[in-house]
Amino acid sequence: MPVFRLGQEHVFPPVELAEPDGLLAVGGDLSGGRLLEAYAHGIFPWFSNRGPVMWWSPDPRFVILPGGLKVSRSMRQVLRRKIFDITMDTSFREVITSCSMARRRDRGTWITKEMIDAYVKLHENGYAHSVEAWDNGKLAGGLYGISLGRTFFGESMFSDVSNSSKAAFIVLAEKLFATGFSLIDCQVHTAHLESLGAVFISRSDFINRVNDSLKHETIRGSWNGNSLLESPSENYSAE
């Protein structure tokens, strides 16, 4: 299959035409309109500083579904003891910058300055959200992603203190599923997310679920103190 080169219009080829590794297209920009169009069609950007923007739609897709979240006994204790203070949308730029630094330490990052600026704009427009885990007033871990309809598209997480990003993710997942979200997109496999209950589904199943979720209005704006996002029920399924 050819890899498509994007032009100025915010139009993507059908995801079924992606390469076996999920690469669908290259080029274009990271404007808000193009990014939202991509996520709505099951596509996300992933590239390095030295290359063009690359757009991906892997098959299968790694996701967490309602009822699928797993919380170990040790993490249940972390949450019940309130070791971390969990907030939402209070430090978006700090979270995405910390994610970039963590990736750079590990193996290089796709979270470039261009990408940080693009997602900060999406955050300011109410589509991108962060979850923060605080330890004695210091940012210890967190994650960010995009919300459309009733799907949350997770992008990246970081942890400077053990269990901090897990705590942030679990609290977010409980809130989202309690609010009626039908899907948390984890994009590709990691052992970390598998331990939290992420599973593979086919790309066609993923796209159908996203399309169904887009029939619901997106919860835009700051999620900090948003009454629509209910408190976690703490009905965790043990490993």
Mean pLDDT of the chain: 91
* d(C-alpha 76, C-alpha 115), whole Å: 34
Domain boundaries, the chain: 4-58, 62-213
Residue 43 · residue 16 · CB < 8 Å: no
Cβ pair 58, 207 in contact under 8 A: no
Strand order from edge to edge, sheet including 183-187: 85-88, 128-135, 138-148, 151-159, 183-187, 61-64, 199-201
Buried b (16+ CB within 10 A) or exposed e, 168-189: bbbbbbbbbbeeebbbbbbbee
Q: What is the pLDDT of residues 127-172, one digit of tens each?
A: 999 999 999 999 999 999 999 999 999 999 999 999 999 999 999 9
Q: What is the pTM of this model?
A: 0.92
CB 186, CB 196: distance < 8 Å: no
Is residue 144 classed as helix, strand or coil in its secondary structure? strand
- CATH code for residues 62-213: 3.40.630.70
Summarised one tens digit per residue, pLDDT across range 187-204 is: 999 999 999 999 999 999
Q: Do 4-58 and 62-213 show the same overall fold?
A: no
Q: Could you give the CA distance from residue 211 to residue 217 in angstroms, rounded to a whole number?
A: 12
CATH architecture, domain 4-58 = 2-Layer Sandwich (3.30)
pLDDT score, position 78 = 95
Structure tokens at 192: 């970390």
Q: Which residue has the higher pLDDT, 213 or 238?
A: 213
Q: How confident is the model at residue 7 (pLDDT cuts 50, 70, 90)?
A: confident
Helix residue spans in 86-231 (DSSP H): 92-106, 113-124, 164-179, 191-194, 203-213
Q: What is the pLDDT of residues 61-80, one digit of tens each?
A: 999 999 999 999 999 999 99
Strands of the sheet containing 23-27, edge to edge, are: 4-6, 23-27, 54-56, 44-45
